[in-house]
Amino acid sequence: MTLFIQLMFSGLALGSDYALIAIGFTIIYKASEVINFAQGEFLLVGTFVVSTAVFSWRLSFVPALLLGMGVTALIGVLFERVVLRRMIGRPPFTIIMVTIGLDVLLLTAVTILVGDKSPGAPAPFDIVSAITVGGVKFGVNALASIVITVLICAALYAFLRFTRYGLAMRATAIDQEAARAMGMRISTVYALAWGISGAVATIGGVFLAAGAGNPVFDVGLGQGALVAFPAIILGGLDSIPGAVVGGVVIGLVYVLTQGYEASGFLGVNFHTISPYLVMILVLLIRPYGLFGARKVERI
Amino acid sequence: MSAPGPVDPSTPSAAPIATLPGRLRSSQSRALALVGALILALLFLFGGDGWVSVLDFTMVAAIAALGLNVLSGYAGQISLGIAFFMGIGAYTAAWLGGSPPQLPGDPAGLGLSVVIWLPASGIVAALIGALIGPTALRLKGFYLGIVTLALVFIGQYVFINARAITGGQEGRFNFPAPSIGDFSFANPNPIFGLQLTTNQCFFLLLLPLLALVAGFVANVARSRPGRAWQAVRDNETAAAIMGINLLEAKIGAFILSSFLAGIAGALYASLSGIATPGTWSLLLSIQFIAAILIGGVASVWGSILGAAFVFAIPTALNTFSLLPQNASSTGISSGDLSAIFYGLLIIVFLLFEPAGIIGLAGRIRAAQQRIEARRTRSEGGDTATSTTIPPTTTTSTAPTTSTTPTEMASSEREPQLDVERMDLMDRTRRADAPQ
């Protein structure tokens, strides 16, 4: 039972990281119908910047985090402005491929910068500190990631619900042309979407790296974040609450299979594919995800 | 040109065909092909073993790139899963053709002949592809991309755990080398007095194989199923309304694509002699995507050129030591450098020339024709029938669409149902990015 509670907690913490990553995908998709395959490397770049700021430039955690968020937000906005703006109206195939191109670029850039060193994992609290209650270890960073996720969701909700730009984003998501006709600036909405998504990716990346419990991280961090794909598929690409639910579910599935696979009959590393299996199952039954809207096809 | 149809005798049929991408009709193209063949032959004979090895791997990669182009280029189905199918092919070959285990810990092998394991590697991959195909019927665009991404991870899990065949995490070392009778490709062989290295032997096997595959794909693309794929790619709903069986078309594309990927995987493993589960990674899939995007989507020559570009660059950088002098201290490897190259090129080509290198070639050819046409006109001949370009369009250049003179010309002529001409229009469309 202790093991179960422990796993549920870890799953929740990991799930909140995935939820953050999934929100990043969803915001962009809602605004511009683009799936950003480079989102994983946004995480990597952001975390790398924060790590460099904390360990090389001796900044304290919060300014470093803000710096990292700024860098990824800037990369996102620039990419949207310089590349994706010219690709409006192209088929999804082309758009996926161009984000894959960005993915390769970012990954290679970080790989070269990292070299053969192992960058330290930046974290708000000491990486091993934990509160133990009744035999269950609650990692402080894990608790922080849950709290931060809840805060970000609340802030995002407030932003989308109560501000002018939030209203513009929602309107654009529903009908781009109508929103434009009402005088909303689509380019501002796109820039906002990519900026928010990039910033959130850095937070997700930092907590993903810290949550692994290692004092260092490697360039595989971005690929690990691809597990957020099952999360967004589960929730449907265009639903932010869906992304959060999907993220938490996938986090739980991942950690629970990891915890119980020691019994052995599922083989080595089963937890790395369990989220994908869940995703394929869901997709075969509901091709647009659990919360996603079915598209009307027009010729 | 197999389609028989009423050919208008005034149609300048030779000129438009020459503008089609990837076809060798004009004298310049023939000269280019000759030069290419000469370079290949020189590299083969005098380039040294390193270069022959690069050529070998490039040809294997070209086979897989052709497979991916069938699925993504012609049929428009996004796939990140080609590495998975290559892995399936490699381990099928290893199991069927590998030497039987000597020690208890050795991976399994049946020691069968190449005549069995090479086709079998393709067939097993194709069967699994046929299972995935129906998924593509329900899932479109991004969703299909993500499911094929999942395939790669599931494949890695399976490859790590199927220790008996794959050797587990540490990888497998004995992959079968093709051998026919006494002639084994694993050993140096004397042919006609020439002492050939292993790589040169493989070259002699791979070149005809690649030619066969390329010819096959080119012909399938022009036949009924190939046209069905392109129709599905351009507009699925419209294709279904026209009577194309979507299930049949998609499964067909998956089968051919996975078959070629499986063969390429088997050849790759056979050539390199070692494969770990990590070989068949997402990165490999992305490299192939880069190859077809840079070379040319839905183009046979594009697949080959793209594969050469993406897979030969790291080796070329190493061979000619083109890396910056302080590269080793800053940690830049040839792999990193080429990754930056192709990452950048993916974006640049998609932005400015979605038809890849082949599209560029087509553009140059179209420009040449424009110049020629202008010259004939200024010479004061009868321009009505001898020129394919209407005067109004000569100065306008379309930057994003690769409209060739053929298309302009056919739209200019009187509307008339002409099988031959529709055929041409259809083919010029291919140069465009999949819709």
Asked which of A14-23, A61-70, B375-384 is least confident by mean pLDDT, the reply is: B375-384
The mean per-residue pLDDT over the stretch B243-249 comes to: 91
Looking at per-residue confidence, does B111 or A221 come out higher? A221
Residue in this structure with the two tokens 């009868």, named with its chain if needed = B382
Kindly report which listed range (A266-275, B6-15, B117-126, B324-333) carries the lowest average pLDDT score: B6-15
Indicate the pLDDT class of residue A265, thresholds 50, 70 and 90. low
Residue B11 binned pLDDT confidence (cut-offs 50, 70, 90): very low
Give the least confident one: A275-284, B89-98, B212-221: A275-284
CA distance B373 to B391: 9
The single residue listed with the structure tokens 């915890």 is A259
Q: Residues of chain A with pLDDT > 70: what percent?
A: 96
Residue B384 predicted with pLDDT over 60: no
pLDDT beyond 50 at A240: yes
Is the pLDDT score of B282 beyond 70? yes
- Nearest-CA distance A238 → chain B (Å): 12
Residue with tokens 């909140």: A16
Confidence of residue B415 (pLDDT cuts 50, 70, 90): very low
What token pair was written down for B421? 């001409």
Are B293 and A90 a contacting pair, CB within 8 Å?
Answer: no
Query: In DSSP terms, which residues pair with B179 in a beta bridge?
Result: B184
SS3 letters for A150-170?
HHHHHHHHHHHHHCHHHHHHH
Tokens 């042309």 locate to A177
Indicate the DSSP class of residue A119: P
Among A181-195, B19-33, B193-207, top mean pLDDT goes to A181-195
pLDDT band at B9 (very low <50, low <70, confident <90, very high): very low
Measure CB to CB from residue A93 to each of B156, B331, B434 and give the nearest one: B434
Partner A contacted by B142 (CB < 8 A): yes
CA angle B295, B285, B175 (to 5 degrees): 110
Give dist(CA A201, CA A18) in Å, integer.
Answer: 10
A91 lies within 8 A of chain B by CB: yes
Any A CB within 8 A of B134 CB: no
Q: In whole numbers, what is the pLDDT of chain A averaged over residues? A: 85
Give the range among A142-156, A220-234, A270-284, B394-408 with minimum mean pLDDT. B394-408
Angle between helix axes A140-162 and A2-32 (nearest 10 degrees) is 30
A270 within 8 A of A53, measured Cβ to Cβ = no
From chain A, the residues in CB contact with B237 under 8 A are 297-299
**Closest residue in B to A111 (Cα–Cα):** B336
Among A138-147, B134-143, B284-293, the least confident range? B134-143
Average pLDDT over residues B323-347: 71
What is the biggest distance separating any 2 CA atoms in chain B, rounded to whole angstroms? 84
Contact of B196 with B52, CB cutoff 8 Å: no
Percent of chain B with pLDDT over 70: 73
Whether B146 sits inside 8 A of A269 (CB atoms) is no
Please name the member of B149, B331, B347 whose beta carbon is closest to the beta carbon of A98.
B347
Mean pLDDT on A209-217 = 79
| pLDDT at position B20 over 60 | no
Phi first, then psi: give them for residue A137, nearest 5 degrees.
-95, 120
Element (H, E) at A132: strand A130-133
Q: Do B293 and A97 touch (CB under 8 A)?
A: yes
Contact A87 B350 (CB under 8 A): yes
Q: Which of B76, B236, B330 lies nearest to residue A93, judging by beta carbons?
A: B76
pLDDT band at B12 (very low <50, low <70, confident <90, very high): very low
Question: Residue A299: its pLDDT value, please?
Answer: 52
**Among A83-87, A234-238, A295-299, whose mean pLDDT is lowest?**
A295-299
Indicate if the pLDDT at residue B111 is higher than 80. Answer: no
Q: Most B CBs within 10 Å: which of A88, A96, A104, A285, as the mutation test of the B interface?
A: A104
Residue A186 tokens read as 């689509």
pLDDT at A49 over 90: yes
Q: pLDDT tens for residues A84-134? A: 888 877 777 788 889 989 999 999 899 888 877 788 888 877 777 778 877
Q: What's the helix, strand, coil split of chain B in %, to 5?
A: 70, 5, 30
**How does DSSP classify residue B391?**
G
Report the DSSP beta bridge partners of residue A133: A136
Which residue in A83, A107, A287 is closest to B347 by CB distance?
Answer: A83
B 329-368 residues with CB below 8 A of A? 330-332, 336, 339-340, 342-347, 350-351, 354
Name which residue leads in pLDDT, B278 or B139: B278
Q: How confident is the model at residue A160 (pLDDT cuts 50, 70, 90)?
A: confident
- As given in the structure block, the two tokens for residue A293 are 């809207």
> Residue B344 and residue A101: Cβ atoms within 8 Å?
yes
pLDDT greater than 50 at residue B402: no
Instruction: Tell me which DSSP letter residue B74 carries.
Output: I
Backbone dihedral angles phi then psi of residue A120, each to the nearest 5 degrees: -70, 145
Of A104 and B416, more confident: A104
Distance in Å, alpha carbon of B271 to nearest chain A alpha carbon: 27
What is the pLDDT, as a whole number, of residue B174? 78
| Neighboring chain A residues of B139 at a CB cutoff of 8 Å | 283, 287
